[in-house]
């Protein structure tokens, strides 16, 4: 079995299994825990829990005025690589074909050149995020191996994807195999490390917002 | 025809001029990616050379490889290749049969000991002692070992001989293996393809005769001159791939406009062969030009690599069961964890209440 055959077959299959198991396990073990009821009396103007959660989520996508000077560029950079990753993962024709093979869903693809451009920007943006983590004393202090590894498994598919696309460094089937193996690593690690925030961020921000609004915090 | 004739004498007798030979040599030099000067060397080499004794063995195969060689649109080319070699044994093409044919093979082996070239098309059955493919009462396995023992080199023609091909496809009932798995002490050149391009074969033999050595080979023992580039690297539809313009089916707008065939299963990006440059039938066309994706026929295990019409980037396995099972297992473990946490909490609350009661009483 060649490296590419291994990557396209067993490696992705095992990784998808690990991903599905981990996501189901972590979500259910959290959601099925007993929820403590908030016994405080809600402020009269407090919105419904759903509205509070949604509003709070949107609100926190942008830094509040007092933090704007310190956090604007960091927030912006975060948006760049998150949106960039989404465009690359869901916009490239080859990726759509992979998803179609799994779920049967399909949508029109973006021009490959555009996706490549976005990939380069995304990789640069991810690099900036890492640099800041290393340079900032506070961030460095609170960073663990989990943070660095999660960064690595996110950046690797982008880097190997760009290499495969541009046929740089090795034969195409080898580059493609690396790309797929890096994707397998990303999938397998995803639910067990900090990348799980992709699911949990909705819960945590929603919870916080509900709590705040109930107590009368304005937004 | 006499083995001891030089090729030049023979060609002269057949009315082939030096000029024609040079032209042909130039063509072969191009095929083998040699510098223009090499054409003269090939022409001189071919003219001087004794006709190379070739023993052609056909094992588990469909005769498509021989068809490809003999039915090319460019008959002079194959005439020449058959003039250059002394094809001492070829089950499909030779006139004699039975015991006489076997005698011809053994005679050629005796007379050209250490100098003859063995060409094999078809894979070798090995299961149960190789009984699933026999000829003149001998298994292919026996004949191959016996014939290759004193050969100069072995050329595996076609994907079956080179990599096992169709007979080797899952579940491989005959235990078919490529020639290189049996013959390990001799140079084996693989000219893969289902079938291979006729010029690839002619060029390789010409190279072997003139230079007396093997051409540069890739990691799968294929001549680099033919198998150095992927179909995708030389495909005229490549600009559409690079722009992300794909035919979604064989009769849609994109297909009519000649867009890239990636989404209808083209395996060109991982297939190494010269179809996109040499093309077929004397340069008339090749599969992608005719509107069909590349099947990847010159690569190992192309039958088992996930389906001809599934895009290259779709997973080769069907992970539905694994993913479904993993979700169920995840829910079970997660639910159990939460249940245990709930019980622990209830117990803690009960303990607290009991303590509180004790304190009060
Ligand atoms: C987080 C980032 C990425 C993820 C998760 C990802 C994921 C995937 C997956 C799952 C496949 C299909 C696997 C298969 O063949 O079975 C794939 C294929 C591919 N990816 Fe990516 N990818 C990423 C980034 C990129 C980038 C940045 C590029 C380059 C612009 C790229 C280019 C490609 C290409 C060209 C293929 C298909 C190759 C082929 O089959 O011919 N990928 N990717
Ligand atoms: S048709 Fe096949 S070989 Fe040609 S560009 Fe598209 S994927 Fe590549």
Chain A residues lying within 8 Å of B232, measured CB to CB: 172
Residues in contact with ligand 1 (CB, 6 Å cut-off): A 8, 12, 85, 88-89, 92, 94-95, 98, 115-116, 119, 157-158, 161-162, 164-165, 176, 179-180, 183, 186; B 269, 312-313, 315
The answer, as to whether pTM is greater than 0.90, is no
Contact by Cβ (8 Å): B117, B52: yes
pLDDT for B2 equals 46
Which DSSP string corresponds to B26-65?
A: HHHHHHTT--THHHHHHHHHHHHSBPEEEEEEE-B--SHH
B31 Cβ neighbours under 8 A, 6+ residues apart? B199, B200, B202, B203, B225, B226, B274, B278
Give domain A3-26+46-214's CATH architecture: Up-down Bundle (1.20)
Tokens of B168: 């080797």
Closest-CA residue of A relative to B314 is: A98
Q: Is A109 in CB contact (< 8 Å) with chain B?
A: yes
Task: Give start and end residues of each alpha helix (H) in chain A.
Answer: 3-6, 12-31, 49-59, 68-91, 93-103, 112-135, 137-142, 145-166, 172-189, 197-214
Q: Which domains does chain B have, with CATH numbers?
A: 51-226 (3.40.50.700), 231-360 (4.10.480.10)
Tokens of A177: 């195999």
Residue B254 and residue B193: Cα distance in Å, rounded?
28
> What are the boundaries of each domain within chain A?
3-26+46-214
Q: Is A181 in CB contact (< 8 Å) with chain B?
A: no
Tokens of B258: 């000649």
Q: Is A101 in CB contact (< 8 Å) with chain B?
A: yes
Residue with tokens 């004949």, as numbered in its chain: B143
To test the contact with chain B by mutation, choose from A10, A21, A187 the residue with the greatest count of B C-beta atoms within 10 A, namely A21
pLDDT for A139 equals 93
The interface pTM score, or ipTM, of the predicted complex is: 0.83
Q: Running DSSP on this structure, what letter comes out for residue A193?
A: S
Nearest residue CA, atom 15 of ligand 1? B313
For residue B90, what is the enclosing H or E element?
strand B85-90
Sort residue B169 into left (φ over 0), alpha (ψ -120 to 50) or beta.
Answer: beta
Contact by Cβ (8 Å): B108, B88: yes
Q: Name residue B22's beta-bridge partners.
A: none
Q: Running DSSP on this structure, what letter comes out for residue A9?
A: I
Contact by Cβ (8 Å): B288, B276: yes
For each of chain B's 361 residues, which pLDDT tens digit applies?
444 456 667 667 767 677 777 777 787 777 787 887 778 877 777 776 667 788 889 999 999 988 887 765 554 555 656 667 777 788 777 767 788 888 888 988 999 898 888 999 999 999 999 999 998 889 999 999 999 999 999 999 999 999 999 999 999 999 999 999 999 998 999 999 999 988 888 788 778 877 878 899 999 999 999 999 999 999 999 999 999 999 999 999 999 999 999 999 999 999 999 999 988 887 889 999 999 999 999 999 999 888 899 998 888 778 888 999 999 999 999 999 999 988 998 999 999 999 999 998 8
Q: How far is B286 from chain A (nearest CA, A)?
A: 22
Residue A2 and residue A171: Cα distance in Å, rounded?
13
């Amino acid at each position: 079995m060649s490296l590419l055959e291994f990557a396209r077959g067993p490696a992705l299959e095992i990784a998808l299994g690990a991903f599905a198991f981990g996501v189901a396990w972590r979500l259910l073990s959290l959601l099925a825990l007993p929820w403590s009821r908030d016994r405080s009396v809600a402020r009269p103007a407090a919105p419904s829990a759903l509205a509070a959660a949604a509003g709070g989520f949107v609100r926190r996508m942008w830094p509040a005025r007092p933090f704007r000077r310190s956090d604007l560029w960091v927030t912006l950079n975060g948006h760049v690589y998150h949106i960039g990753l989404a465009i690359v993962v869901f916009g490239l024709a080859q990726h759509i074909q992979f998803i179609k093979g799994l779920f049967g869903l399909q949508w029109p693809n973006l021009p490959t050149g555009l996706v490549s451009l976005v990939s380069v920007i995304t990789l640069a943006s991810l690099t900036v995020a890492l640099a800041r983590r290393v340079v900032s004393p506070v961030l460095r202090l609170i960073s663990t191996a989990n943070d660095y590894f999660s960064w690595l498994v996110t950046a690797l598919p982008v880097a190997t994807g760009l290499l495969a696309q541009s046929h740089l460094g090795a034969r195409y089937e080898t580059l493609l195999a690396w790309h797929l193996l890096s994707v397998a690593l990303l999938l397998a690690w995803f639910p067990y490390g900090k990348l799980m925030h992709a699911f949990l961020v909705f819960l945590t921000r929603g919870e916080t917002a509900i709590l705040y609004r109930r107590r009368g915090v304005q937004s | 025809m006499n083995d001891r004739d030089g090729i030049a004498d023979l060609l002269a007798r057949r009315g082939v001029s030096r000029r024609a030979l040079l032209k042909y040599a130039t063509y072969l030099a191009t095929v083998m990616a040699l510098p223009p000067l090499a054409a003269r060397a090939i022409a001189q080499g071919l003219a001087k050379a004794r006709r190379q004794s070739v023993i052609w063995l056909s094992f588990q195969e469909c005769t498509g490889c021989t068809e490809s060689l003999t039915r090319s649109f460019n008959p002079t080319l194959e005439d020449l290749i058959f003039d250059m070699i002394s094809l001492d044994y070829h089950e499909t093409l030779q006139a004699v049969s039975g015991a006489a044919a076997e005698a011809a093979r053994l005679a050629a082996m005796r007379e050209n000991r250490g100098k003859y070239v063995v060409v094999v098309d078809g894979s070798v059955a090995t299961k149960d002692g190789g009984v699933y493919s026999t000829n003149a009462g001998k298994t292919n396995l026996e004949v191959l070992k016996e014939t290759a023992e004193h050969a100069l080199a072995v050329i595996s023609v076609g994907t079956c001989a080179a990599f096992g091909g169709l007979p080797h496809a899952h579940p491989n009932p005959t235990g078919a293996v490529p020639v290189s798995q049996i013959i390990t002490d001799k140079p084996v050149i693989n000219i893969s393809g289902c079938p291979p391009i006729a010029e690839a074969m002619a060029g390789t033999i010409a190279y072997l005769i003139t230079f007396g050595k093997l051409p540069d080979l890739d990691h799968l023992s294929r001549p680099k001159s033919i198998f150095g580039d992927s179909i995708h690297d030389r495909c005229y539809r490549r600009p559409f791939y690079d722009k992300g313009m794909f035919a979604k089916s064989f009769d849609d707008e994109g297909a009519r406009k000649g867009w890239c065939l990636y989404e209808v299963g083209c395996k060109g990006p991982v297939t190494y062969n010269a179809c996109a440059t040499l093309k077929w039938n004397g340069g008339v066309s090749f599969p992608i030009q005719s509107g069909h994706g590349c099947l990847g026929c010159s690569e190992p295990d192309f039958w088992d690599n996930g389906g001809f019409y599934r895009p290259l980037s779709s997973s080769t396995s069907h992970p539905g069961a694994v993913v479904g099972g993993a979700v169920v297992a995840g829910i079970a473990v997660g639910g159990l964890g939460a249940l245990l946490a709930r019980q622990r909490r209830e117990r803690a609350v009960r303990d607290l209440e009991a303590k509180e009661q004790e304190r009060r009483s």
